[in-house]
Every structure is written in structure tokens, then in C-alpha cells.
Structure 1
Amino acid sequence: MDATDVLPLRPAPAAEAFSDKRKGRALATAWRGLLPSPANDLAADRDRWVLWLPPAFGTGAAAYFLLPAEPPLWVGPSGVGAALALTALAWRAAPAFVALLLGLLAVAGGFTAGQVRSELVAAPVLPQQIGPVTVTGEVRLVEDKGGSLRVTLAPTSVERLSPARVPATVRLTLRGDGPEPKPGQMLRLRAVLMPPPAPSAPGAFDFPRHAWFQRLGAVGYTVAPAEVLPGPPAGGFAVAVETLRDTVTRRIRAAVGGIEGEIAAALVTGARAAIPEATLEAWRDSGLAHLLSISGLHMTLAAGLVFVGVRTVLAAIPAVALRWDVKKATAAVALAAAAFYVVLSGAAVPSQRAFVMTAIVLLAVLADRTAISLRTLAWAAMVVLLTQPEALMGPSFQMSFAAVTALVAGYELVAPRLSAWRGRGCCRWLRTAGVYVAGGVASTVLASVATAPFAAYHFNTVASYSLAANLAVMPVVSVAVMPAAIVGLLLMPLGLEGLPFMVMGYGLAAVNAVAETVASWPGSAWPVPVLPPWGLAAVTLGGLWLCLWRRPWRLAGLVVAGVAMSSAWWSPGPDIMVNDEGTVMAVRGPGGGLILSPGRSDGFARDLWQERFGAPDPIPWPRSGASTGPAVPFTLDSPPHLACDGMGCIYKARGLSVALVNRPDALPEDCWAADVLVATVPVGRWCDQALAVIDRWDLKDRGAHAIWLGPRPRVETVAETMGDRPWSPFHRWRQRQAEGEGGP
């Protein structure tokens, strides 16, 4: 008998079962490799979980700012305490569950930060317009508006206001010939004061909220030349900084001159007020407006130029280079230069974010670490959100962090491949040049795509040729403009800044020429419909999902962001708009554009409505006895039609008839015949058969109105969108009514 005659033994049942289980596990593992599950992706990206803490913190802050009413002060701290307790109890649970609890803690922390910040900056706000009154106060800031001066005062007394109701700061436009004030001086002037104006449309920029966190309690204008009171100017760090900024701004304008001088001052000290509106519009339409906001580009160039220059000088001195760590000493000098630049520029949100990131990178050099990563950006976001959570709601924070997040994520994705390709084979210098050019193009594309949704939300336009404009000017800015600015600042104490700033002026002239040329191209500024707030939130979530994860599931963020961005076209704009004083109306025309009422009153509201809801070419309002369309039988599908006479207008759209009334004697007939009544005069309670009635008191009490026509007309007001918050003028009006106060 040989081996071939031996029959194979059948495995025991237990062994067979064990083998089947092992095969099943192997098969399951293979399928998981082919079809990765979200749990596997989440575990594989565990080191990226911490990157979601700033978005969670920002979510809490946004929840606070978007509430319809001010919550009790204990809500935020209670949420933080509850989240801390839950995290402590579950600390030994699954890591994903603990991470979720930490995210909830961050949300509660963001909510609390918003509450605390709002309480810390609380200051009196003027409840209603007063004046002319005598105002005495210390000059905090002087801005040249190109022909007029605007000053920010810290008033010590305001006529007709008790000391407890005097605003912390007021902003006034100076009229008349008088001495030009300086920071720290005491002024006495006669001025008309008014509260920070409410938005001109529901959902528009909330200036009263912005003013609340700046402790700006009133705005206005003077009616006589200001009087400078005798005595030495006030001291202090803030006054010294503003004095330095004012001096540097004046010397830059004198050295450069013209529009280029104003742009140069904006790049160095952040003084943008004197740049002509036509120039600003050209830079916006060409996609170069980001250069006027001191941010990462400027901070990186400034710190990088100082770093390279100082290191080159120190390395050329053998006694220093051989005995000391030149790189670390240079990093310390560059950090000090960056800190000086952020103070000199006014410390706006983009410059703060850029400084924090630059500081972390330079500190990493001092500690022999590498720090250009998304974690650096996360630390910068947390610093800004902890100290100024209100910045989250503004375009500067959103666009700045969106651009840098996209750039860093893109760099992380391609940097290893580019480094390997650049260092391989012949013609290394040519490969390096190709990488530099490709990197510039890719950076511009990434930054433009990342900021486009936020530009569309806040400004309702997207620069169509931003890529071409930025590619044309970035070499000039990097090689000529910013190096000349640094050299000019260094030579300014010696009075030798003329030549460097002249070079800077030539570079800015070239940049301005590119901006004006690109802005003149057809379709340079592409109008975009209003993006709803939830759409912007979804775009942000999709972008973060794409940038913060590394696994293939990150691509789902592209789908979410694309669908959310299309929400701007899902719902049409309002059919009727009325400002808070009833002096301006607008209705939707046959072609989709706005028909604006005649006159020049409230030009700001007219421009805003046209940008947010209008078409490129406005339709003229019909004269008395005329109409905007042919007289045809009115049906549900008929195009909008507007006809006017001496007593008002009749607007017909979407199967409804709307009476726009400006005289009381037209009310009886229009109340009986119209489906919707909009009157600039008081109506009273007897006109109740209409589907919606808006009169003079509604406009005064609730601000500008927007109306969507339909079987059930929908009305939105500024008071509703602002909410019952401490910065809302409607909140203060309700407080005065409840207290029975009649005056300030």
C-alpha cells in the first residue's frame, strides 16, 4: 500500500465549522476592502477628528446669533456644564462616542462665547434720532473719506442724554471748514445723531449687530465746524497706535500720490475709506478686492520677506553664522515684524487669522517643528472665535478661512507627488519653475472656488474673470508691491521712504490697470440670486467635509456643496419691496427685473434691492396714466402688470391685485377691490377683507417689508429677521413702549 491508496480523512464537524467561519471572515474583509464603510473611513481618519472642533464651536456661535430672541444668560454655561458632565461620565466609552460628546461641548462653548461676548460689549445705543445737539468727546479714529472726514468719538457728554444713556462711541461725518482733528484730542461739536440704521431688506447685512460689537451706539453728521478743546491729547496704547497709523498713512499718500497712494495706504495701514467707489467697484468686479483686505497673502509676504532678508544678512556675517542659530533668530525677528504689521494695519479679522497662522509657523521654526497644516488653521480659527465670535457672521472671516482651508487641503493632497516629480530626472530647474507656475494657477483656482459661495451670499455677484486677473497681478504684487512697502516702512524713520514707495506706486498702477481692464470685459460681474442661509450652511458643511477628511468619502462634500449652491435658483425673489419710511417701493416686472418707484430718496435701499433681487437693467416706473405692459385680460398666468394714477398704483401678478396707496382718499375703493393693500398712510382696522394689509405704522414698527404673492401671500420684515435681540432697534422700541418712555 502506498500513499495514493490512503483515503483522505473528512474533517470533524467542529473543525469544518471553524474553517467556514474563517473563510467567512476572510470574505467579509475582502468585501470591506472593496466597499469601505463609513465606520471604517471614520476610524481611518481618526487623527482628523480634532479638526472638527472649530466648526462645532462656530456652529454654537452661529446658533446664538441666529436665535429669534435673546436667551437667558444661564443657557450657554448650563449647556457647557451638561456637556462636560456627560463627557466625564463617558470618558472610557468608545472613542467615536467621546468625540461626539466633545463636539457637543464645543457647540455649547461657541454658544456661550457668543453670549459672554455680547454681555461684555453691551453699551448704550441711541433709541431714536436727536439733534442738533452738542457732543463732547475724545477722538479715537479719523478716516479720510475722499473729500470729507469721518471721526469716531468716545463721548463724555451728549446734550439731552443722561450720563447713563451716552453711547460708548459715536461715528460722525464732519461738515464745514474746521481744524482737522487728531487721535486723542477732545472735540466739541454740534451734530445730528441717530441709531445705527436697520437693514434695508429682510436678511440683508445687519449693521446694528455689527455696531453693537464695536460698541458703536450712534452715527450722524455735524452741522457746524468742530471745535478742538485746549489741552494735551490723551495718551494710552490705543491712541499711540492710531497716531502712528495716521502718520504712516499720510506719508504713504504723500510719497505715492493719486489713487495709487490711497491703495498703498490700504495695503499697509488698512485705511480704505478714501479709495474712490469706482476703483473699489473695478477691483470687486475683476476679483482683486481681496488684495485690499490685509490677510494671509500680505502677512505671508511681509513675514517671509523679513525672514529671508534678515537671514541673508546674518548668514553673510561669519562671526554670527558660525556661533548662533541664524534661522531661529530670524524667525523671532519675523514674528516681531508680523506683530507690528497686524497692529499697524488695524487688526481686522483676516489679519488676525493670518497673524495667528504665521505666528504658529514661526514658533514651530523656533521649536524645530513643521506647522503648515490644517491644525494650524484650526488653532487660528479657535483663537478668533474665542475672542470675537461675532466675526463668524461676517464675510471677512468666512471668505478668509474658506480660501486658506481649500489651499492647505489642496497642498496636503498634491505636495508629496509634486516633490517627488520635481526632484526626479533631468532639468530640475525647469521642473521647479513648472511647479511654481502650476502652483500659482491652482492656488488662484482653489481660492476663487472656495470663496465664490460666500461672495454670492454677501454681495450677490461673482467675478467671472478672477482667475485671469489674479494670475496677471500676483507676480507684480509679490515682486514689486509688497517688497517695496516693507523697504519703505523700514526707511521711513530716516525719511528715505520716497524711492521705495515710488516703486510701489508703479506696481499698483499696473495692478489698477489690470483691474479696470478686466472689469470692463462683458459679464465680468455675474449677478447671483440670493442664497438662503440654510444653503450657505450646507455649502460650508460640504466644503469642510471635502477638505477635512482624507478618505474617498470626502467627495460627498462636492455633491452637498453643489446642490446647496443651486438653492439660490430654487425660490424667486419677492414680488414687492417697501422701505421702512414708505418712500421707496419696488415690484417685480414682466422680465423678472425690479420696477423701482421714481425719485432719489433712500438711494442705499434702491441699490441694495437691485443687487439682491433685480436684473441688470431696471425697468422705469410708469408715469401717471401709464402702465408697464399691454392692457390684456388679467389671468393667473398673465405677466406682471403695473398701472398708476395720481392716487397710487395697481399691481397685478400671480392672480392677485395689489393696491399701492399713497393718499388716504384712495383707501375706501382700494380696500374693497384689492387682494393685498400696501399703503404709505395709516389704514386703520376697518380694511380687513384683504389677504394682507401693510400700512405706515407697520413699516415704522417692523422696518422694510418683502412680499411674495400667492394664494396665501407671505410677508417678511426686517424686525422678524433681526429678532428680539439687544442690538435690534425694534427691540429697543418695544422696551421704550413697555417702560412708557417718550424721549431719549
Structure 2
Amino acid sequence: MSNPRVWILEQLDAERGRWMLWLPVALGLGIAVYFELPSEPALWVGPALAALSVGLAVLSPAGSLARALAIGAVAASTGFGLVAWRTASLAAPTLARPLFSLNVEGRVSDIQRLPDGVRVVLEAVRLRGNGVPPPEMMPTKVRVTLSRGAPPLTIGDRLLVLANLSPPAGPASPGAFDFQRVAWYQQLGAVGYALAPATVIERGKPDGFVRTLDALRADVAARILEVLPGPAGGVVASLLVGEQTAVDKNVAQAMRDSGLAHILSISGLHIVFVVGLVMGIVRYGIALVPALALRIDAKKVAAVLALMAALFYTALAGAPVPAQRACAMAAFALLAILLDRTALSLRLVAWSAVIVLVIAPESLTGASFQMSFAAVVALIAGWESAAPLRRRLHERAEFSDHRWAWRIGAALAASLVTTLIASVATGAFAAYHFNRLSLLGVVANLLGVPLTGFWIMPWGLLAMLLMPFGLESLALVPMGWGVEALNAIAFHVAAWPESAVLVPSLPGASLWLLTAGGLWLCLWRRRWRYAGLPVVAIGLLLGPPPAPDLLMSEDGRVLGLRDEKGVVHVASARTDRFVSESWARRQGQEGAKRWTVSADEQAAGLGCNTGLCRWRKGPWRIAMVSDEKRLAEACGSADIVLSTVDAQARCRGPRLVIDRRDAWKDGAHALWLDDLTVRRETANGRRGDRPWVPNSSMRQGAVKAPGA
């Protein structure tokens, strides 16, 4: 082999046509680096790095690798600066602490249908009651779940409701899902629930194009649920207008376990049907009028109208990330038709990713962006690689006496291979974000995708066309039959043994390695692409990080422990289903239960009794207190005390005391115990000094074990 440097340069030069595909990767890298920083960077850093990179690009020889790398640096710096600017531009007040029995008044800006109620987002908020913040600290937006019997609502109505509010919740444990960061980019300053039926104090109309579309989406969802009020209606609302909150929880879980959850997200399948339907109707309609067909280019007219339809449908669905990606790809393909050019598939994906990241750079960190683009990149790269084999099979089929059998077999094989590629490409991301892997998704998709494509979606699109005339029920009813069959497939496959497995949380390094290796494998065409496989393998082999032994929720009210078998338990008088399930799921378990001990352990003084739980691991004696009356007893006999009541000023004996005030200040806590020390980590300390982190501080330290 020649000099390695020369060989690498030769490979890069041979792949020159693929360099452009790495542009969105560089843009995303800058965004990812921003979110990994321990503190908020100055706004001038991104533009300064971009200017420096532009200078290097200008000084580099045209067409050289140096210029390509400099352009990549420009993209990375741009992504870094863009997300930093967006973070600063969306700054909005957030409620500092929970408030109870408030009169909440605001204008309805969004309506989210739930299986058992309605959730609204209010803007131009006014709060009245004890402890309300001053006007300059009033939340910009508030999300409230309304009680049963909520009045009919439309976007623009002014609503008054008695509710309890609290700040957006932080991670349930260090490293868990960060809803506070999501809420920051939505300018959501408080969440809560109604204590009494809401009152519409003023009927209003949506102002502006976006609000009008939001109102239209809410109206369409309401009309769908009126015709199909059961679980099928929630799925239909999700399929047609992206109203995933309307999906029944059991149905949603079955969809996840069976590998059909992607169908609920408006993406390529839905956009393709819209584009295909519009293009088909327009082209065939023009062809029916010979005088018109001879004078205009029906294909280009159809492309323009299909593009308008795709943009409108994406906006109507709320423009989720998969729909943005699919719409952008469809738009580039339709523009290529208008310009009489052939669109290159992976280039479509690349430019679609650029558009999505420029519009909402924070979407990079979400499961929706990662899984959507991972699936489509892997599918296109896989089919590109299989092109020679597909040509040979096609030629054999053309000369076969059983051509129809070849075509049926090819369709089934294509569906199977497509499902396998998409499942493998998204599996690691599903494991990272949801701690769940669907093992039988191939079976469910072989049944569910054709049903969705050939029955459910055509009826759905017909229902949308009939809705302006009030005739949507004619199409929604048969669509509901198809959805009921789809739900049955999901429940049936999900009920099979080992249809889905829970896996412990992967470390962040795994996500970086899996992404880098997968991109290297998919974006290049020559054999050196296979160097990405060992990188992916290393990412999978890293394994989960050590699980914590003790846990405290961010409000300081829920305490947990991991026993000698590795099972997570709740060890406090109060529990929280979301928190406890998050703790268990991150360890690959179905759910956390109350901690109970054997008779021998009870005789040894372990277990829980009226507000005090005692546990022992190695040399450490641990007390978990939920009753203020048992605090003194706990402090006098334990090395570590976790308390849901104030304890710092009154608990001097133990080596480590963590109470609810620590949780309020630093977020959820996790402790790792060994024979010598205790390692302590907090959610806020792990996230760093970022705008969405309240009371952030880097509180991580070590405590010596007894006798050490």
C-alpha cells in the first residue's frame, strides 16, 4: 500500500462529488458542540469563528481539500453561532416556584387534544393570586391541562381558569430527558392543571397566518374526533394533522412495542401521498382537455400545485421535524422537475437537513430529527449500494416466464429490506432516547405499512377534501376501519413474547460514535466507507454507565434506591409515576415499585416504617426520611441521609445530608456508593450554567467512607 496520507487523499479526491453531503454534518457538529458546553458562550464566538474560517477558505487553493475543510469549519461555526443566537432570542421568564389556586387568564394559542381531555397553551398571560410574579417576570406562555367539561375552544379565545402552576420540570435524574430545555425553545414558562372548568371570557379570532393554521388544525382534529371518538379517532387525528397527543396511551405503547410508532408521525409517507395525489389529479385532469394539454406543460403545472399542497399540509400539521424533512425533499424534487434536472437523492436529504437546522437548530438534539434523518439516509444509501443487484434481478425477471411472480417477490423483498434497514438505522437512537428496542417491527411493518398506504391514507386524504363540504364522515368511517385493523396488528405483535425489550441508557459517547460511524458508512461510496462499521460497533459495545445506588427527584419528594440485584425501588412515602418510571426505564426495567425487604432484613433493622427507610450497602448506613418526626432518629444512626423535609440545619451527625432544599437548588440527585467514597451528581451540575437551567451549579464531589 502507498503512503497512508497519499491513499487517504486519493480516496477523498475520488469522492469529491460527495463532499457536499458533509455540509449539514458540519452544521450539525457546531450545534452539537454548543449543547455540550458546560457554560453559555458569548454571542460573538460563533461569528468570529465563522469569519476566521471564511478567511482560511479564501486563502486555500480552489478545489483543494484545505478549502473543503475550511468551508466545513464555516458551516460548523455558523451552526454554533446560529443556535447561540436563537437561544438568546427566545429568552422568556419562567416561573420560579410552584403556585397554587391561581386565576390564570390568557389567549389560547394552541389546542392539544388528549384522549381524556384538552390541553391548551395560553399567551398574553395574567396571573392573579398569592405569590404571583411581578409583570416583568410574568411567563410568556403557560400550558394548562383543562378539567373535564371544558367549553368548546378556538385559537384566539381568551380563557380564565383556576389552576395550579409550576415551572417546567427538569430531568428526573442526571442525564435524563430535559423538558426544561425543550420548554425554553417554546418560550413555555409554566405548566399546570385546572382545578375547575375553564371559562371563555372573550371569543376571539386567530391573528396571522400561523395562528390561522393552528386554528384550522385544531378544528380539523375536533371534527375527526367527533366522527371517531374512540382510540381510532386519536390515531386518525395523528395521521392527518399531527395531533399525537390525541392518541390513546395504550395504543401509543402498542405502536412503540410493535415498531409501528413511526406511522403516527407525519413524514415521508404522508407527504408523498399528498404530492402524488395532487400531481395525478392535475396531470390527468389536463390530459382530459386536449386543447389545454397541447398548450401547457402539465407536468410542471402539476409540480407547482403539488409543491403548494405539500407546503400547506406540512404547515397544517404543525411542521414537525419529520414533516419538514419530507416536505423539503419533496420541494427539491419538484423544483428539479421545474428546472428539467435530475435530483440526486442524498443531496436532497443534505439540503433538507440544512433547512431544518437553520429554521430550528435545537431540533438536532431531539429523537425526531435523529431518527427521521437516520432512517432516510440509511435507506437511500442502502438502495444506492444495491443498484447493481437490482438491475441484474430486473433483467432476469424481464426474460423469465414467470414475470408476475418475480414482481410480487420483488415487492415483498423490497418491503422487507426497507423495514430492516430503517429498523437497524433507528434502533440505536430508539435505545438511547427511549430505552426500548422493537424486535418484531419487521413483521408489524410488513402488515401495517401496506394497510396504511393503500387503505388508510387514501381515505384520509379524501376526508380532508370532503371536510370543507361537511361530508368528511363518508371517508373517515372507512378510514377508521383501517385504523382499527392497524391498532389490532400493533396490539397483536406487541403481545408476542420479547416483541420489545427495555435496555439501559447508553452513554453520550455512544451516540457520538454511532452517528459518526453511520454517517461515514452512508455518505461515502468507495470501500473505505466500511471503516464506519467498527466505529458503530465500538459505540454499541461501550455499554451503559454504572447505575446510581440512590436517587432523589428534583422536587425533593421522591427517593429511590437500587438494590443488590440492580432493581430500582421507590423508598419514600410519596411516589411520582413519571419520575419512578424514568428511573427504572434508564436501568432497562419496566417500572419501579415500593421497596420491601425480607423478614431477616427487617430483623436487622432494614426496610421502611412510617416515614423512615433504612438501607445498608457495604460500609454505608443510609436513612431516607419522609417524616419530620423521624429526622432526629435518622440523623443519629446513619452515614448518609436523604430527606424530603428540611434537614441541613438539624442533621449534624451523618457524613452526607441531602434534603429537599438541595434538590430545589441543584435538581435531581444521583449517588454512587463504593467501599471508600460516595460520588454525587446533580442534574443542574451535569447540564452546566445554561439559560434553561434554574439555579445551576457544579455540585459534584466525593465523601470518604466510614473508617476510610
Query: Which residue of structure 1 aligns with residue 383 of structure 2?
Result: 411
Helix, strand or coil at the partner of 1:363: helix
Aligned partners of 2:571 and 2:613 also within 8 Å: no
State how far apart, in whole Å, the 1-side matches of 2:581 and 2:302 are: 50
Query: Which residue of structure 2 aligns with residue 607 of structure 1?
Result: 581
Task: Note closer, same or farther for the CA distance 1:165–1:317 as it changes in structure 2 (3 Å cut).
Answer: same
Query: Which residue of structure 1 aligns with residue 36 of structure 2?
Result: 66
The answer to whether residue 415 in structure 2 is matched with residue 451 in structure 1 is: no
Amino acid corresponding to residue 565 of structure 2 in structure 1:
G
Q: CA deviation at 1:616?
A: 4.2
Which of these residues, 270, 280, 297, is aligned with residue 298 of structure 1? 270
Q: CA deviation at 1:122?
A: 1.6
Which moves more between the two structures, 647-656 or 572-581? 647-656
The answer to whether residue 686 in structure 2 is matched with residue 728 in structure 1 is: no
Helix, strand or coil at the partner of 2:207: coil
Query: Which residue of structure 1 aligns with residue 399 of structure 2?
Result: 426
Q: Deviations over 1:27-54 (max 9, x none)?
A: xxxx559999333222211221221121
Task: Note closer, same or farther for the CA distance 1:232–1:33 as it changes in structure 2 (3 Å cut).
Answer: closer
Which of these residues, 250, 259, 265, is aligned with residue 222 of structure 2? 250
The answer to whether residue 675 in structure 2 is matched with residue 706 in structure 1 is: no
Query: Which residue of structure 2 aligns with residue 142 of structure 1?
Result: 111
Aligned partners of 1:593 and 1:617 also within 8 Å: no
State how far apart, in whole Å, the 2-side matches of 1:115 and 1:343 are: 26
State how far apart, in whole Å, the 1-side matches of 2:118 and 2:697 are: 30
State how far apart, in whole Å, the 1-side matches of 2:117 and 2:565 are: 40
Unaligned runs of 5+ in 1: 1-30, 632-640, 735-744
State how 1:277-316 maps to structure 2 within 5 Å: 277-316=249-288
Aligned partners of 1:726 and 1:732 also within 8 Å: no
State how far apart, in whole Å, the 1-side matches of 2:209 and 2:342 are: 34
Q: Deviations over 1:94-151 (max 9, x none)?
A: 8112222222222111110111111222222222222433333211112222232211
The answer to whether residue 444 in structure 2 is matched with residue 469 in structure 1 is: yes
Task: Note closer, same or farther for the CA distance 1:642–1:617 as it changes in structure 2 (3 Å cut).
Answer: farther
Helix, strand or coil at the partner of 1:37: helix
Which of these residues, 145, 155, 180, is aligned with residue 124 of structure 2? 155
Which moves more between the two structures, 692-701 or 392-401? 692-701
Helix, strand or coil at the partner of 2:411: helix
The answer to whether residue 45 in structure 2 is matched with residue 75 in structure 1 is: yes
Aligned partners of 2:581 and 2:592 also within 8 Å: no
Q: Deviations over 1:654-688 (max 9, x none)?
A: 55433334456766776576443333344447977
The answer to whether residue 624 in structure 2 is matched with residue 653 in structure 1 is: no
State how far apart, in whole Å, the 1-side matches of 2:436 and 2:47 are: 40
Query: Which residue of structure 1 aligns with residue 245 of structure 2?
Result: 273
State how far apart, in whole Å, the 2-side matches of 1:360 and 1:670 are: 66
Query: Which residue of structure 1 aligns with residue 703 of structure 2?
Result: none
Which of these residues, 501, 523, 540, is aligned with residue 548 of structure 1? 523
State how far apart, in whole Å, the 1-side matches of 2:257 and 2:134 are: 47
Aligned partners of 1:270 and 1:346 also within 8 Å: yes
Q: CA deviation at 1:630?
A: 9.4
Helix, strand or coil at the partner of 1:273: helix
Query: Which residue of structure 2 aligns with residue 262 of structure 1?
Result: 234
Query: Which residue of structure 2 aligns with residue 108 of structure 1?
Result: 77
Aligned partners of 1:592 and 1:614 also within 8 Å: no
Query: Which residue of structure 2 aligns with residue 17 of structure 1?
Result: none
Q: CA deviation at 1:338?
A: 0.9
Query: Which residue of structure 2 aligns with residue 527 of structure 1?
Result: 502
Helix, strand or coil at the partner of 1:730: coil
Q: CA deviation at 1:295?
A: 1.1
Which moves more between the two structures, 313-322 or 111-120? 313-322
Query: Which residue of structure 2 aligns with residue 327 of structure 1?
Result: 299
Aligned partners of 1:151 and 1:174 also within 8 Å: yes
State how far apart, in whole Å, the 1-side matches of 2:188 and 2:697 are: 15
Helix, strand or coil at the partner of 2:171: coil
Aligned partners of 2:221 and 2:237 also within 8 Å: yes
Query: Which residue of structure 2 aligns with residue 514 of structure 1?
Result: 489
Helix, strand or coil at the partner of 2:486: helix
Amino acid corresponding to residue 127 of structure 1 in structure 2:
A
The answer to whether residue 169 in structure 2 is matched with residue 204 in structure 1 is: no
Which of these residues, 542, 557, 569, is aligned with residue 583 of structure 1? 557
Number of equivalent positions: 692
Task: Note closer, same or farther for the CA distance 1:690–1:93 as it changes in structure 2 (3 Å cut).
Answer: farther
Q: CA deviation at 1:213?
A: 0.7
State how 1:346-361 maps to structure 2 within 5 Å: 346-361=318-333
State how far apart, in whole Å, the 2-side matches of 1:587 and 1:608 are: 13
Aligned partners of 1:574 and 1:588 also within 8 Å: yes
The answer to whether residue 27 in structure 2 is matched with residue 52 in structure 1 is: no
Task: Note closer, same or farther for the CA distance 1:505–1:195 as it changes in structure 2 (3 Å cut).
Answer: same
Q: CA deviation at 1:567?
A: 2.0
Helix, strand or coil at the partner of 2:554: coil
State how far apart, in whole Å, the 2-side matches of 1:34 and 1:87 are: 25
State how far apart, in whole Å, the 1-side matches of 2:698 and 2:108 are: 30
State how far apart, in whole Å, the 2-side matches of 1:733 and 1:134 are: 37
Q: CA RMSD in A?
A: 2.8
State how far apart, in whole Å, the 2-side matches of 1:545 and 1:450 are: 13
Which of these residues, 61, 67, 87, is aligned with residue 57 of structure 2? 87
Amino acid corresponding to residue 723 of structure 1 in structure 2:
G
Which of these residues, 552, 557, 565, is aligned with residue 532 of structure 2? 557
Helix, strand or coil at the partner of 1:55: helix
Q: CA deviation at 1:81?
A: 1.7
State how far apart, in whole Å, the 1-side matches of 2:4 and 2:512 are: 33
Helix, strand or coil at the partner of 2:189: strand
Which moves more between the two structures, 232-241 or 136-145? 232-241
State how far apart, in whole Å, the 2-side matches of 1:602 and 1:683 are: 22
Q: Deviations over 1:318-353 (max 9, x none)?
A: 333333222212212211221121112111111111
Query: Which residue of structure 2 aligns with residue 27 of structure 1?
Result: none
State how far apart, in whole Å, the 2-side matches of 1:186 and 1:34 are: 68
Query: Which residue of structure 2 aligns with residue 19 of structure 1?
Result: none
Query: Which residue of structure 2 aligns with residue 716 of structure 1?
Result: 681
Which of these residues, 337, 341, 359, is aligned with residue 309 of structure 2? 337
Task: Note closer, same or farther for the CA distance 1:691–1:468 as it changes in structure 2 (3 Å cut).
Answer: farther
Aligned partners of 2:440 and 2:499 also within 8 Å: yes
Q: CA deviation at 1:187?
A: 1.9
Query: Which residue of structure 2 aligns with residue 696 of structure 1?
Result: 660
State how far apart, in whole Å, the 1-side matches of 2:645 and 2:257 are: 40
Task: Note closer, same or farther for the CA distance 1:359–1:322 as it changes in structure 2 (3 Å cut).
Answer: same
State how far apart, in whole Å, the 1-side matches of 2:6 and 2:44 are: 44
State how far apart, in whole Å, the 2-side matches of 1:321 and 1:627 are: 89
State how far apart, in whole Å, the 1-side matches of 2:609 and 2:4 are: 73
Which moves more between the two structures, 650-659 or 218-227? 650-659
Task: Note closer, same or farther for the CA distance 1:619–1:733 as it changes in structure 2 (3 Å cut).
Answer: closer
State how far apart, in whole Å, the 1-side matches of 2:535 and 2:173 are: 28
The TM-score normalised by the length of structure 1 is 0.87
Query: Which residue of structure 2 aligns with residue 385 of structure 1?
Result: 357
Which of these residues, 471, 495, 500, is aligned with residue 496 of structure 1? 471
Which of these residues, 361, 369, 373, is aligned with residue 401 of structure 1? 373
Query: Which residue of structure 2 aligns with residue 637 of structure 1?
Result: none
Q: Deviations over 1:186-223 (max 9, x none)?
A: 22333322211112111111111101111111111233
State how far apart, in whole Å, the 2-side matches of 1:574 and 1:295 are: 38
Helix, strand or coil at the partner of 2:245: coil
Amino acid corresponding to residue 88 of structure 1 in structure 2:
V
Between the two proteins, what is the percent identity of the paired residues? 42
Helix, strand or coil at the partner of 1:153: strand
Unaligned runs of 5+ in 2: 700-708
The answer to whether residue 568 in structure 2 is matched with residue 594 in structure 1 is: yes
Aligned partners of 1:589 and 1:619 also within 8 Å: no
Q: CA deviation at 1:176?
A: 5.9
The TM-score normalised by the length of structure 2 is 0.91
State how far apart, in whole Å, the 1-side matches of 2:650 and 2:472 are: 73
Which moves more between the two structures, 164-173 or 309-318? 309-318
Query: Which residue of structure 2 aligns with residue 15 of structure 1?
Result: none
